[in-house]
Chains A and B, each alone.
Chain A
Amino acid sequence: MKGVKKSFGTVVALDDVNFELNSKEINGLLGGNGAGKTTLMNILYGLYKPDAGEIYLHGERVEIQSPKDAIKHRIGMVHQHFLQIESYTVTENIVLGTPLKNRPTLNLAEQEEKITDLSEKFGLAVNPRALIGELPIGIRQKVEILKAIYRGVKILILDEPTTNLTPQEVDFLFNSLRAMVEEGMSVVFITHKLREALSVCDRISVLRDGRYVFSIHRDEATEEALVRGMVGERLDIDKSLLFSKPESIREIEPTSVEFVEPVCKERVVLNVEGLHVRDEAGGIPIIRDCSFHVCEKEIFGIAGVAGNGQQELVESLIGIRPVAQGRVLINDTNVADVETRKLLEKGVTYIPEDRLNDGFLPTANVAQNLILGYHNQAPYSKRGFLDWKAIFRAAEKLIREYTIMTPSAQEVAANLSGGNIQRVMLARAFSRPSRLLIAHNPTRGLDIQSTDFVYTKLLERKDEGMAILLISEDLDELLRLCDRIATIYRGEIVGVLERSKFDRYEIGRMMSGVKTHERTN
């Protein structure tokens, strides 16, 4: 790919980017969020039209106008958010869009057989007749990869494929990728994680702020050089929390005590006792007998693969999902099934995972977005009437403080770029004094600077005495920030580890349901 340019509205996503993929290699496309990795690959896959630039395949110029063209050129892509139809079976999802013989029965036996063959060959076991919506994330990812292989792709693009996998599953995935390269395929591996890029890729290409930085062979790559490439000169790496070694954040005090339920020394702010939560219909239990507590001056982490009840747990804690059984105590008052509004007044702050859907008012202006949740509290509201002057004053202050790029506080929020929308959400979350912060994947989709900023803020607030519940699917993030980490699996807390006992693979085992005490060596 040569000289690729792309902008969305006024936001330049890619500026004159070059990218090369050799045959039979795994090329790691490395960069922070917002660096343009996904955009670049979406262009290769025909989902985005580039403003400028050319694509060459085996030395020949090709035009890729749509995914259809990409498939024709034997390019496949596995998106970070799987593009699957939940009500279809695995087979139906895989064969969709391929020329089938229009037989009157839509009999897919032949296709099923082919899928089974392929899945065995690459170690991607799936049941071709299962409904997609009922499969766990790890399997659904295999289906995504099979979709590409079924079409006989030569180039496979994987966008942040490890996001929702346990460390063990990541290793399996890497093995499958190796098998594919051996079969003659080439792989583009989009990631923002240094460690992964270094462990599986043959070559690593770095993007930063929509620009191509360099491409380097693995043997020549050093962490130092890659980090510098990702962040440029603007960030002081030594002070960056994101790139620090986990150990250096807080000194670990060696303890000799084994398997003691960790007790915190400060006051307990949030105490969850025997919490049960059911699905919408009120039938299937999703959270089962969950108990944990979060103290003042503590960051309590919850690790787990996405879809193990994290969303439901958080929703029940902030009062938008009914609690079936159990107690949620905030400062010793039971707040189970208390209205969200009351919780906000009590000083609970919430950073939702899906900030666009769960926290953002696209048609409202920036100022209106900044007061959501606090709109009936002083100083924004006086006796039921809004004080627009106070609101705009506060909004302008936040816009400066959080460097939100917007023409004014009156700008319609949807016109802001993705990164700035994220900053509006963060500014709102940190704008008010609060005692308990519930943050669900707070750095998902953030660029490097913003991620660092969030980490700093979290630690700052912790030191000020805030209790923080950090639910994250990014294990590295938890290992860096938390004082204690619990792991959730199928709605149950599998175990709680103290900082001194943090162990990536141990947590990984718990993420796949192995309880600590079951592991008898």
Chain B
Amino acid sequence: MDIIFITAALVAVGSTVMVITRLNAIHALLYLITSLLAIAVVFYILGAPFVAALEVIIYAGAIMVLFVFVVMMLNLGQHAEAEEQRLFMPRMLVGPGVLALLLFGMTLYVLALPHATAGGRMIAPREVGIALYGPYLLGVELSSLMLLAGLVGAYHLARREVKG
């Protein structure tokens, strides 16, 4: 189990270093997604399968797609196609690809093991849900309020000014 943990941690740290040193935003996003997947493996090993799944679905899925959309919106222009021609370098896929393949192999290995957690006990989604809607109910309400405020704020800030 420890070797899996160390490998996932090294992948996470390595791809995070690549994120903060890239010049191209899309390349950095690719490495950040790899880093998030590695962190999801770490969560799974620590006995938190629910959070590991949420990390993949919400972080690597939804939030990073938002980033990709905005980065692509910023690049729009007449020279966008020429820019894309220059930007698409298949060799940039090698780094994230190799790291992601490593993670995939580790996931298969972990799933094949009988008791795959380092914490001694897996904390099931059921317990998390009971805690979330029990003692932390006020926090859930406050998060919903914050999401509404974020929705209104993002709409207001990104809206184009209507003159007159």
A binds B: no
